[in-house]
Homo-oligomer: A and B are copies of this chain.
Amino acid sequence: MTVNHQIRLAARPVGPPKRSDWNFTEEAVRAPGAGEFLVRVQYISLDPAMRGWMNEGRSYIAPVALGDVMRAGAAGRVIESNHPQFAVGDFVTGGFGVQEYALSDGKDVVRVDPTVAPLPVYLGALGMPGMTAYFGLLEVGKPQPGQTVVVSAAAGAVGTVVGQIAKIKGCRAVGIAGGADKCRWIVDELGFDAAIDYKHGNIGAALKQHCPNGIDVYFDNVGGDILDAALARLARGARVVICGAISQYNATAPIKGPSNYLSLLVNRASMTGMVVFDYADRYAVAAREMAGWMAQGRLKARTDVAEGLANFPEALLRLFRGENTGKLVLKIADLA
């Protein structure tokens, strides 16, 4: 009998999720039925959005029910299969959850090729965060060559891709990140034109310096004071893409709304929310284009690896503390 270790949602967190908000359970792995296959999970994706799924109430996706295995994107390998399209040995990504083994009927599962990019990259630049960056920037932000694109959480899984695509599209890319190391990295390694360290100095003054003609596209992953600072520097006709608000996800007080939202009026600007799932029918096309950019060295991906299923609760918190650089994943197995 193979034991499947799982992490389940035990309580709806107030503020940052505590260890007691999780249940550590184990159960026997069931053999796949007709049309099913069994995946051994190797990497679990850690994403800011997971915090939202833990809350009760209406959102763009149903909350994780108390007692359920925590929802998560993950990558692994098929180890048993009764499914015509997935063979033993295939590498796959899908919503396998925070557990060691997952049964699947193939829905929303993608076969990936670890010779094209390392497996965890399919959870990052070639996975949901990359798709989010690609469609959020290009479809909602609509950057034009020569325009200035600013992205927050610029050293994160989404932000790194937003800035690099902005450069590929002929824009000026300015990233906002926390700490000198991240700032240096996104400029020196990823090719951003400038980086602003939100932990040092005045963000508004830095935006003024680095965006002398204002911000044409602001891609927001953080909300809070940084969103307000960006709103204050919008160019006429600017597009603000609301992708996330990590600064607010653990808030126990009401969310801080953007005080400077009337800049939208003054500048005839727009602020638009996006959810990557709406672009699912075009993921494959985008992934092919992005893989091409990677092959050309124009799009770089970095993975920040935490290890061990039992470390999931603490690893997840690293996102909210801004401790990751690049895409954060949890490695829970060594596979061939």
A261-B271 contact, Cβ under 8 Å, with A59-B266, A266-B60? yes
Whether a CB of chain B sits under 8 angstroms from the CB of A275 is yes
Interface string of A253-285 (1 = CB under 8 A from B): 011111111111111111111110010000000
* A262 CB, min distance to chain B CBs, angstroms: 6
Contact (Cβ within 8 A) A268 B261: no
Chain B residues positioned under 8 Å from A266 (CB to CB) = 58-60, 273, 275
Bound-state Cα–Cα, A316 to B221, Å: 41
Q: Which of A243, A265, A268, A272 has the most B CB atoms < 10 Å from its CB? A: A265
Q: Are B255 and A264 in contact (CB under 8 A)?
A: no
Interface flag for A291 (CB, 8 Å): no
Given contacts A270-B270, A271-B271, A273-B270, contact A244 B257 (CB under 8 A): no
**Given the known A-B contacts A256-B257, A257-B256, A257-B257, are A262 and B275 also in contact in the complex, defined by CB atoms under 8 Å?**
no
A228 at the interface (CB under 8 A from B): yes
- Cβ-based interface call for A173 (8 A): no
Interface residues of A in 49-97 (CB under 8 A from B): 58-60
B residues in contact with A287, CB < 8 Å: none
B264 with A268: CB separation less than 8 A: no
Indicate the size class of the contact surface on chain A. 20 to 34
- Residues of B near A258 (CB, < 8 A) are 257-258, 261
Contact check, A265 vs B273: say whether CB atoms are below 8 A apart.
Answer: yes
Contacts A254-B259, A259-B255, A273-B270 given: A265-B244 contact, CB under 8 Å?
Answer: yes
Nearest-CB residue, chain B, relative to A58: B266
- With both chains docked as a complex, state the minimum distance between the C-beta of A51 and any C-beta of chain B, in angstroms: 12
Nearest-Cβ distance from residue A220 to partner chain B, whole angstroms: 10
Q: Are A267 and B257 in contact (CB under 8 A)?
A: no
In chain A, residues 166-196, which have Cβ atoms closer than 8 Å to a Cβ of chain B?
none
Q: Which residues of B contact A317 (CB under 8 A)?
A: none
Whether the Cβ atoms of B257 and A245 lie closer than 8 Å is no
With A255-B260, A259-B255, A261-B258: A270-B268 Cβ-Cβ less than 8 Å: no
Across the interface, which residues of B come within 8 angstroms of A270, CB to CB?
270-273
Is A299 part of the contact surface with B, judged by Cβ < 8 Å?
no
> Is the pair B271, A275 in contact by a Cβ cutoff of 8 Å?
no
Whether A272 contacts B264 by the Cβ 8 Å rule is yes
Contacts of A271 in B (CB 8 A): 261, 264, 270-272
Give the CA-CA distance A270 to B272 in the complex, in Å.
4
Tell me if A242 and B257 are in contact (CB < 8 A). Answer: no
Residues of B within 8 A of A264 (CB): 242, 271-273
| The 3 residue pairs across chains A and B that have the minimum distance between CB atoms | A257-B257, A265-B273, A264-B273
9 A-B pairs besides A269-B273, A270-B272 with CB distance below 8 A are A244-B265, A245-B262, A255-B261, A255-B262, A257-B258, A263-B273, A265-B275, A268-B272, A268-B274
28 sample A-B contacts, Cβ–Cβ < 8 Å, listed by A number: A58-B266, A59-B266, A228-B257, A242-B261, A242-B262, A243-B265, A245-B262, A245-B265, A248-B262, A255-B259, A255-B260, A255-B262, A256-B259, A257-B257, A257-B258, A257-B259, A261-B261, A261-B271, A262-B273, A264-B273, A265-B273, A267-B273, A269-B272, A270-B270, A270-B271, A270-B272, A270-B273, A271-B272
